A = this chain, B = another copy of it.
Amino acid sequence: MHTLTLHRLDLGSEAAVEDCLIGLDPHETLLTATDLSATRGDGIFETVVVVDGIPQALDAHLDRFERSAAMLDLPAPRRDLWQHAVTVSAGAIRAHTARGAVKFVMSRGDEAGSGAPTGWALGFAPHSRPDGSAPSIDVVLLDRGYRHDVAETSPWLLQGAKTLSYAVNMAALREAHRRGAQDVVFTSIDGYVLEGPNSTVIARIEGVYTTVPTELGVLPGTTQGDAFAALEGWGAPVETRLLSVDELRTADAIWLCSSTRGAAPVRSLDGEPWSVDSLVTVRLNDALDARKA
């Protein structure tokens, strides 16, 4: 990760947004040893791609940030402040890269501090897809351990919130690498497709582009949402529904969608070669790159 800019947000203040943003050197230390981000993974985040200084799908990311905050009983984010912070960061990284990203984070604050949440926005150049291409990926299915309805029965498990507690997601990616793959699709113990550790699944089944509902405790995919909008614009059928693992295995094309990678086509699933629709992949990623906000 090549960091470019860092801004701290003063979330304990009610001053004008301009006065709540403090520019820092991204290599400087920012957090105490008692910040709940570091000690408990107790916070939320979003990563927005920035093309030519414009943050992509920022409204969808801010919507999801607010949703995550509510699920974690965090204070409602001051939307104008976060919007300002991302916009400033995006403008600042434009000088360094035409395709960057801004990660914005809110933790529950410092256990030994004032009680205000901690906030920051980090501008960086992502490793993946630096030139706009979306490389095809090898994927394995891994059990997420939960039933498909766990978000409804057990909301304290925070399924569907984008939290800082990502150790399991990182461990799943390491398991994928051990199996010779680069990414993962999580499945429920009762045989349903969920999501990737940092992506949303789109499967084309009998010509219908299909993803799964957020009721499963998966994140609402900001990139998948814009991909579906593009597909609908072309007259392609899209559907959001429960998808069993058996059905996924009948898909004639699968993509994992994420902000930094776009729509990445799956070229193998559990070691079995999978067909890649290069034409649709290029069209999807061109449409994603053409977003103006």
In Å, the complex CA distance between A170 and B74 comes to 12
**Interchain CB contact under 8 A, B34 and A26:** yes
Least distance between A32 CB and chain B CB atoms (Å):
6
In Å, the complex CA distance between A189 and B3 comes to 43
Give the A interface residue count (CB, 8 A). Answer: 60
In the complex, A134 has a CB within 8 A of chain B? no
Q: Given contacts A27-B112, A28-B32, A165-B165, could you give 18 more A-B pairs where the C-beta distance is less than 8 Å?
A: A1-B34, A1-B112, A3-B33, A3-B34, A3-B112, A6-B33, A34-B122, A37-B37, A38-B107, A38-B164, A39-B103, A39-B164, A40-B166, A43-B167, A145-B147, A155-B171, A156-B171, A158-B167
**Interchain CB contact under 8 A, A39 and B32:** no
In the complex, A52 has a CB within 8 A of chain B? no
**Interchain CB contact under 8 A, B73 and A174:** yes
- Contacting residues, chain B, for A146 (C-beta < 8 A): 145-146
Contact indicator per residue, chain A 158-201, by CB within 8 Å of chain B (1) or not (0): 10010111111111101100000000000001000000000000
Least distance between A91 CB and chain B CB atoms (Å):
19
Interface residue ranges of A14-51 to B (CB < 8 Å):
26-35, 37-43, 45
In the complex, A105 has a CB within 8 A of chain B? yes
- Contacting residues, chain B, for A34 (C-beta < 8 A): 1, 3, 26, 122
In Å, the complex CA distance between A2 and B34 comes to 10
- Which residues of A are at the interface with B, using a C-beta cutoff of 8 A? 1-3, 6, 26-35, 37-43, 45, 72-73, 103, 105, 107-108, 111-112, 120, 122, 124, 142-147, 150, 153-158, 161, 163-172, 174-175, 189
- Contacting residues, chain B, for A31 (C-beta < 8 A): 29-33, 35, 38
- Contacting residues, chain B, for A147 (C-beta < 8 A): 145, 189
**Interchain CB contact under 8 A, A157 and B170:** no
Q: Which residue of B lies closest to A27 (CB)?
A: B32
Least distance between A128 CB and chain B CB atoms (Å):
13
- Contacting residues, chain B, for A163 (C-beta < 8 A): 41, 167
Least distance between A234 CB and chain B CB atoms (Å):
37
Some 11 contacts from A to B, beta carbons below 8 A apart, are A3-B112, A27-B32, A29-B32, A31-B33, A33-B120, A37-B37, A41-B164, A143-B154, A156-B174, A161-B167, A165-B167
